[in-house]
Structure 1
Amino acid sequence: MMETAEKKARPSTGMCPSHCCPPQLLLLVTVTLMPMVHPYGFRNCIEDVRTSLCFRCIQRFLESPALAVSDLPPNAISLNLSYNLMRCLQPSAFARLPRLHTLDLAYNQLETLSPGAFHGLGALVVLDLSHNRLTTLAEGVFNSLGNLSLLWLQHNPLSTVSPGALLPLLNLRRLSLRGGQLNGLGAVAVAVQGLAQLEQLDLCENNLTTLGPGPPLPASLHTLQLCNNSLGGLVGGSPEMLWHVKILDLSYNNISQAEAFTQLHLRNISLLHLMGNPLDVFHLLDISDIQPRSLDFSGLELGTHGLKKVCLRLQGPRALQRLQLQRNGLKVLQRNALASCPVLQELDLSWNRLQQVGCAGQLLDKKQQEELEVLTVEHNLLKKLPSCQGAQVLPQLHNISFRFNRILTVGSHAFAYAPALQVLQLNINSLVLLDRQALWGLHNLTELRLDNNLLTDLYNNSFTELHSLHTLNLRNNRVSVLFPGVFQGLSELQTLDLGGNNLRHLAAQSLQGLSKLRRLYLDRNRLLEVNSRVFAPVQATLGVLDLRANNLQYISQWLHQPPPFRYLSSLYDLKLQAQQPYGLKMLPHHFFQGLVELQWLSLSQNMLRAIPPDVFEDLGKLRSLTLADSSNGIHDLPDGIFRNLSNLQFLDLENVGLHSLTLEVFGNLSQLQVLHLARNELKTFNASVASRLSSLRYVDLRKCPLSCTCDNTWLRGWLNNSRVQVVYPYNYTCGSQRNAYIHSFDIRVCFLDLGLYLFAGTAPAVLLLLVVPLVYHRTYWRLKYHWYLLRCWVNQRWRREEKHYLYDSFVSYNSADESWVLQKLVPELERGAFRLCLHHRDFQPGRSIIDNIVDAVYNSRKTVCVMSRSYLRSEWCSLEVQLASYRLLDERRDILVLVLLEDVGDAELSAYHRMRRVLLRRTYLRWPLDPTAQPLFWARLKRALRWGEGGEEEEEESSGGGAGRPREGDKQV
């Protein structure tokens, strides 16, 4: 083991008192040792927490993109600069972000795009310039955007598009110019004619009056939207212009003459929208080449017997996939009104004025009844759905939507005509009464929408027939009581939405029968309490429970009944935020007991005042916890409250009134990644807490009164580092001082302690005057020895050339120790790539023994002396040590390595004064007999042999077990 006289004599001082260390040193140690968490931030942007390299710079009052781009990483892939004040884009405005994939500049005040504004964005795919003030697109604006696929320019006062403005966009697929002031399609056709990949072009809500003159649109274009323009006569259009278009929207253009279409080639059109045009649609079909089934009859004037005419026009050998008759002013549908239509799969009668549709099947003939699959009658005036028991069955009908009507009642067996029904939407009506047998026979129904009605009562047998129902939505009704067994029979139900009703209490059997329920929404009711017995029927399956905005209140920290969620061992999402009227002010002890699988918990907007430290004990798998907006409540969290939340990743403590962050609260959150602390009373961010949050990635400290004091010197350095994103770190002011910022305040004042400097300057001098004479008197020879070592180190430090040695080490040993040297030392060192000089192998035959020893010592980097009693008695060994000592004094280098094979007593050593002197001045290695200690011996020996190689500084081996240097006071030598 290795030990030195200095090591033995050095006292243990323990921790240095802080008042004895210079403040600069304390700052350096704090910043260097504490965070493995290194923050970063941007002046005007926030990086998305879930998607790295995606940045939002919204509503930052930016007048130039440079204010946002300047400090973003060059490998950013998405940038949102919407809702700012930019008026102009200068050339190469985004050149720092060559990998940008998406750029959003919507809702600015852009009036000018300079040529080359997007230079360097060769990887850009999506560009949004909507809702700006652009009046023209000049040539060169979109240079370098050869990879752009989507370009949004809607709602700009565009009146001019230069012919070559869009030519660089070789991969553009979708282009929106909606809401501009373009006058003619011809000019746009010229601009897009070179876009061989263009698929969709939106020119709605412009001032288009003509279709030409202009070249044909690109062959790749399949969707052209020209709605809400002024194309009354379709003037200027050539037959070839729309040759390849498949979907054409000419809605709301005031086209009144069917002859306007005769000059256009419409045979290839698969869907033509003409809604809102005062047009004789039947005359159009007579004089144009448009196929009747390619025409959307919605919003057209059909006139008397128009529905029958439409059906006759649509006749054909193949079944009609969809018949859409929206906004046709239909008021009454007589029996067999659609019998003359071809076989239908989908029928849409929305946005008419129908007051009844009967049992649906009476509108169709027998063959149509067998094929109809989807029936949509939304935005009409339906008042009731009558009983249809015994009506003609539609065996394929699986989807019915009666949304946005005025339905008050649903009669018995109202849907008996659709036994295969899977989706039924009756939401957003005025439904007051749902007959007990209204849904009977719907054994295949999987989704039922009854939300946004006026239902007050749910009867016990209303849903008993719905054995396959997966989703039941009763949100925003007036249900005040859930009778026991009301959901009996819904054994397959997975989602039940009762939010927005008037429930005050839940009976113990309210959820009876819901053995597979996974999601239960009870938010925005008036629940005063929740009881564990209520959830007993769903304890094995329930995963989501929403209790937001109820009236839950607790006046004691101790529950007088079992914890309300004790049986919900599968629950992973629980919402309890915003209890009314003033919030959930108190959480009782063990309130969340039993929620062993919970991952998301929201308690925000509750003004919590008392949170016991054991309340989250069972939530070992919790990943997200929200306690935001309790500013009049929490103030400071109790110690140990998060001690079991080792898996927590998201913690929102915004506006809870926190005054400090302590290790007792936050010390165990090793997996925390996102921490919201905005709008608290924090004056600093605790350095110890920051060091323990090793996984932290995002911190929000906005609107906290951080102080520019010496306590925050570490925070200033932390804010200018990198790894954790700190939201807008350059906006944190020093309390109420508007022009002083945390990231740059002057910290020099923290170190101007004159008394400390005077003490630091005089105390060492006085101590030196006292210690130097004593040290000189007691350790003269040792000082002289270390002086030679220092000179050796300086000489080695500034030596320009390194001598190349033949050997790494010359091994000096006695023949009595030859077996140990050859069997242990030599194999171990030569296996470690050391070149050894051994007298029996490397001495030159015929030369004087002294010459060989001199050459061996001076041609080796080090000299290893294997010392034993036999070694001490050997004259040749003594000579070798003496020559090595001479070289040490000559070259001023530490070249001796002493290995002590066996203990030598003081009495035996006193006769060999030279060896005694060497042992007193040199550190030595002792060969351990214990095999477990031998690897350490070899490691230290190799380290001693390598010391000083390659121009490194040579120092003494000064610590560790297995080494030592005899002292005169300790050992008589």
Structure 2
Amino acid sequence: MLYIIQALVIGSVFLMIEAFNCSSNEKCHCVDFEGKYFANCNGLGLRSAPSFSDDVIGISLVNNDISEFPTSLPVGISYLDISKNSLREIRQNSLANYKFLHNLSVSENELKSIEFGSLRKAERLIHLDLSLNQELTIEVLVNISHDLKNSTSIRVLNLEYLQCTFGTSFIVKKYHIADLRHTLLEELNLASNRINSFELGVFSMLPKTIKYLNVANNVLSYGYYLAEFGSLQNLVTLNISYQAFFHQVWVQNFQIPCNDTRDPCNSVKTDVVRNFTENLETGEVIGQFSSFLQRPQNITIYIPPKMEVLYFHDNMYKLELQDFTLKSVDGPKLTHFHLQNNIIYSLTGPITGLSSVVHADLSNNFCSYISPKFFNDFQNISFLDLSHNALGEIIENDVNGNIFRNLFKLKYLNLTRNRIVRLPDPIFRNLVHLKQLNLSYNSLSEFTIPINHMKELRWLDLSNNQLSFLDQSTRDTLDTLSRDKEIYVNLNANRLLCNCEHMDFVKWMRQSRNVNFVNFNEYTCSYMNSSRVSFSQIDPLLQQMEKRCASYTLTIVFMTSLVIVILTATFSRILYRYRWKLRYMYYVAREKYRDNVQGSDVTGGESSYYFDAFVSYADKDRGFVIDLVKSLEKEHNLKLCIHHRDFIPGTGIADNITNAIHYSRRTACIMTSPFLESYWCMFELNMARMEAIYSREGENVLFLVVLEKNAMAKLPFSFIDLVESKSYLEFPENEDADESSAFRSKLGATLKSHNCEFRSLVTSSEQE
């Protein structure tokens, strides 16, 4: 590459330094360079080379119409570029006078032959470029290698495109390059030569000094020669891209002659197999390669021990990268591999031997699957390009974040155009050194994944998605990460919303200091009336939003308050209407729970009642009730419950009341004015009514004992049905002994009876 740089320097000098006259053609520009001259005669329409002074050491005759190789140039010339002319051959004496020539370029001519011995006298030749002479054919290798076999100076040999694009395929054999083995060649370019295969032993014969080998844009097929790549001990860069590549065909392609005088191969595949059979016993590596071809998994591929860069892109091979191992003598040295633009539909792995890789390009491969173990051996990778694939589904399903879990040193990750709809939270959980994350051209509607662990993040590209805003957590994280550095975020071509709900997000974008939004003025958002508004007018936009959202906020507050008031009123009304039912259900449920915890075996029916009746009364009527209870219990053998005697100490009043009602067959309420004025008496009355409705299946277990007639007038309206059904007894107004006795007898019989009907309950005075 040093010699190419030298040529570029010379070209730049031609343009920058004052010209002198050093040629018989005044149109040639001569440049003084450290006491010597370089002549630029490019594009002058010359049919032959002009004469030059002896102090000219560099000549460029590019893009002329010279058909004969010039032999009368200064003998001290070291640089000669005669590309893009009409040369048809290089004869034995063409270079005889140029013993100091270092750099010779005869690219893009019409060469058909290079005579045997024509390069022999160019003893100091370092860089030789014969590329783009498609009628020369790769067979010229025989003459070139023979002429250069004793050269100690040759370093670069460019033989690219010496075959017709659509010509016969070719097999490189050992005799083509045998004489190069003793040279110090470092760069060999055999690209675009329709090479189908290499005879076994070719790579072993190449000079051990080879550092760069380019066999791109050929038609290489799989073969046993692949096992020999490992023998290139000093190879640093290998380019095997563009294999079986689709070439653009134009009408003029059919007008270009392809005068290939070589005999076409009868059968490339047969030839390869024959060569392999003849050389099967030539070495251990071949035997190992034969065995790995028969084993679909856990194969081992030997690579050159110093190889750092592999180009294997733009091939038409359909591949699944399965489990295999890359090995070299001194451990892995590979740092860069370029596998983009292939058809690698599945990354299964794991591939071991890649711990030294820092740069990997796997973009545009139609890939839809990555195994969680594929990147197991990529511990040192810092650049990973997976763009232009179809990884959306496999990424969405990676809920544990296993795909990228081992990429602790990754700094650049490109996932653009992968049809990603959603990102699981743990997907990038271990990317603690990530600096650039590209998720553009996907279908993300939200970006909520944690990024607070990415302390070195500098670039976040979310452009061309379906985002409407960034949530508060993400904004806070970006603000935190940008405290000591600037962060660039690209949200262009998203569906951003400029409404009241997201006004704080728009303000944040405008006011954020260290978070810079790429091409901010090109952003647009959907305004409240669905129109698109440009961020180039962000300040007026925010002012208008604040005005509209202020009234909108008042409306929201008013409507929210109104809804709360209505709901509260409705809920309160429902609670008030069913207050007694809710209380009753609460206390009954609590009692049942207590019974279950204590293991009580209480079932429904007559056997579950502890009392014949519960007598509810006001404290002012206690004397009357005590006398009445004593009489009823003695004369009628009743078991009655009254609160001042039978309620359980230490138990809540409400619990005592509900238990007394629930475990009594009847409930009798002594109706007086103090009764109606007492909270707990009314509580007992309502609980008894709920007991009748919800626990006794509508059985009328409640009846009233009217001690004061005027008390019935004060009875709540909800109990009017008890009055209409005459489910009550009136105590005689006069304290006649007979009437009192009849009252007690009637009451005792009623409480004793299992019959629930009280419709005919009247006093003796009424019967008269």
The TM-score normalised by the length of structure 1 is 0.43
Does the 8 Å contact 2:408/2:432 carry over to 1? yes
Q: 1:428 aligns with which of 158, 161, 168?
A: 161
Structure 1 residue 750 displacement after superposition? 4.6
Q: 1:681 aligns with which of 458, 461, 466?
A: 466
Q: 1:747 to 1:670 in 2, by over 3 A?
A: farther
Aligned to 1:853: none
Secondary structure of the structure 1 residue equivalent to 2:90: coil
**1:50-61 equivalent positions in 2, closer than 5 A:** none
Q: 1:715 to 1:342 in 2, by over 3 A?
A: same
Q: Which amino acid aligns with 1:610?
A: I
Aligned to 1:446: 186
Structure 1 residue 396 displacement after superposition? 1.2
Structure 1 residue 599 displacement after superposition? 0.5
Give the structure with higher Rg (CA). 2
In structure 1, distance between residues paired with 2:110 and 2:383: 43
Aligned to 1:330: 66
Aligned to 1:727: 518
Q: Which amino acid aligns with 1:471?
A: Y
Structure 1 residue 533 displacement after superposition? 2.7
In structure 2, distance between residues paired with 1:494 and 1:364: 32
Structure 1 residue 448 displacement after superposition? 1.5
Aligned to 2:199: 459
Secondary structure of the structure 2 residue equivalent to 1:691: helix
In structure 1, distance between residues paired with 2:46 and 2:125: 27
Aligned to 2:319: 528
Q: Which amino acid aligns with 1:445?
A: L
**1:156-305 equivalent positions in 2, closer than 5 A:** 246-247=18-19, 269=21, 274=26, 296=40
In structure 1, distance between residues paired with 2:99 and 2:463: 62
Aligned to 2:57: 321
Are 2:421 and 1:635 aligned?
A: yes
After superposition, the C-alpha distances for 1:244-285 in whole angstroms (9 at most, x for unaligned) are x832xxxxxxxxxxxxxxxxxxxx5468975599xxxxxxxx
In structure 1, distance between residues paired with 2:116 and 2:146: 8
In structure 2, distance between residues paired with 1:399 and 1:497: 19
Aligned to 1:75: none
Secondary structure of the structure 2 residue equivalent to 1:734: strand
Structure 1 residue 300 displacement after superposition? 5.9
Secondary structure of the structure 1 residue equivalent to 2:531: strand
In structure 1, distance between residues paired with 2:510 and 2:385: 33
**1:739-750 equivalent positions in 2, closer than 5 A:** 739-740=532-533, 743=538, 744-745=541-542, 746-748=545-547, 750=549
Q: 1:490 aligns with which of 232, 235, 238?
A: 232
Q: 1:517 aligns with which of 301, 307, 327?
A: 307
Q: 1:738 aligns with which of 531, 546, 553?
A: 531
Q: 1:642 to 1:294 in 2, by over 3 A?
A: closer
Q: Which amino acid aligns with 2:402?
A: D
Q: Which amino acid aligns with 1:396?
A: R
Q: Which amino acid aligns with 1:521?
A: Y
Does the 8 Å contact 2:438/2:462 carry over to 1? yes
Structure 1 residue 713 displacement after superposition? 2.1
Q: 1:224 to 1:572 in 2, by over 3 A?
A: closer
**1:64-75 equivalent positions in 2, closer than 5 A:** none
Q: 1:297 to 1:701 in 2, by over 3 A?
A: closer
Secondary structure of the structure 1 residue equivalent to 2:128: strand
Does the 8 Å contact 1:635/1:659 carry over to 2? yes
Q: 1:345 to 1:338 in 2, by over 3 A?
A: same
**1:565-584 equivalent positions in 2, closer than 5 A:** 566-579=352-365, 583-584=366-367
In structure 1, distance between residues paired with 2:405 and 2:24: 63
RMSD: 3.9
Secondary structure of the structure 2 residue equivalent to 1:720: helix
Q: 2:102 aligns with which of 368, 373, 381?
A: 373
Q: 1:355 to 1:563 in 2, by over 3 A?
A: same
Q: 1:332 to 1:509 in 2, by over 3 A?
A: farther
Aligned to 2:506: 716
In structure 2, distance between residues paired with 1:755 and 1:513: 70
In structure 1, distance between residues paired with 2:341 and 2:426: 28
Gaps of 5+ in 2: 1-11, 30-34, 246-288, 565-768
After superposition, the C-alpha distances for 1:141-162 in whole angstroms (9 at most, x for unaligned) are xxxxxxxxxxxxxxxxxxxxxx
Q: 1:435 to 1:375 in 2, by over 3 A?
A: farther
In structure 2, distance between residues paired with 1:339 and 1:510: 56
Q: 1:509 to 1:452 in 2, by over 3 A?
A: farther
In structure 2, distance between residues paired with 1:292 and 1:572: 45
**1:595-634 equivalent positions in 2, closer than 5 A:** 595-608=378-391, 609-611=393-395, 612=398, 613-630=401-418, 633-634=419-420
Gaps of 5+ in 1: 1-201, 203-221, 226-244, 248-267, 278-290, 764-973
Q: 1:357 to 1:726 in 2, by over 3 A?
A: same
Q: 1:276 to 1:524 in 2, by over 3 A?
A: same
Q: Which amino acid aligns with 1:587?
A: I
Aligned to 2:84: 351
Q: Which amino acid aligns with 1:569?
A: S
Aligned to 1:550: 342
Secondary structure of the structure 1 residue equivalent to 2:350: coil
Aligned to 1:395: 123
Q: 1:691 to 1:699 in 2, by over 3 A?
A: same
Does the 8 Å contact 2:230/2:328 carry over to 1? no
Does the 8 Å contact 1:371/1:396 carry over to 2? yes
In structure 1, distance between residues paired with 2:504 and 2:338: 42
Q: 1:496 to 1:346 in 2, by over 3 A?
A: same
Aligned to 1:927: none
Does the 8 Å contact 1:246/1:271 carry over to 2? no
Structure 1 residue 329 displacement after superposition? 3.4
Secondary structure of the structure 2 residue equivalent to 1:690: helix
After superposition, the C-alpha distances for 1:603-627 in whole angstroms (9 at most, x for unaligned) are 1111222122210000000000011
Secondary structure of the structure 2 residue equivalent to 1:515: coil
Aligned to 2:763: none
In structure 2, distance between residues paired with 1:224 and 1:392: 34
Structure 1 residue 601 displacement after superposition? 0.6
